[in-house]
Amino acid sequence: MPIIEMHMMEGRSGELKRSVAAAVTEAVSRTLACSPETVRILITEHGAEEFYVAGQTMAQRAEQRRLAELQEQGK
């Protein structure tokens, strides 16, 4: 250990995944003073309709903010 599972939105490049994995491994081994060889990282990606905050997708929330702003401007 440590074993780290990172849930991320789908679509990031391989290069970006490699760099976040390297940065997280460095952060963990530095702060926990453990060998990088003991640090394993699993990335699990989720599509646009597989992640919800307050029961809404990110697209639904963005649309809601857009409408709220329009309404605000309409005052």
> What residues are labeled active site?
2
**Contacts to its own copies by CB under 8 A:** 1-9, 12, 14, 16-28, 30-32, 35-37, 39-46, 48-57, 60
Which phi and psi (to 5°) does residue 12 adopt?
Answer: -75, 150
Closest residue by Cα to residue 18 from 52, 43, 44, 38: 43
Peptide bond into 2 cis (omega under 30): yes
Minimum CB–partner distance for residue 69 and its own copies (Å): 18
Question: Whose Cβ is closer to its own copies: residue 15's or residue 72's?
Answer: 15
Question: Whose Cβ is closer to its own copies: residue 2's or residue 75's?
Answer: 2
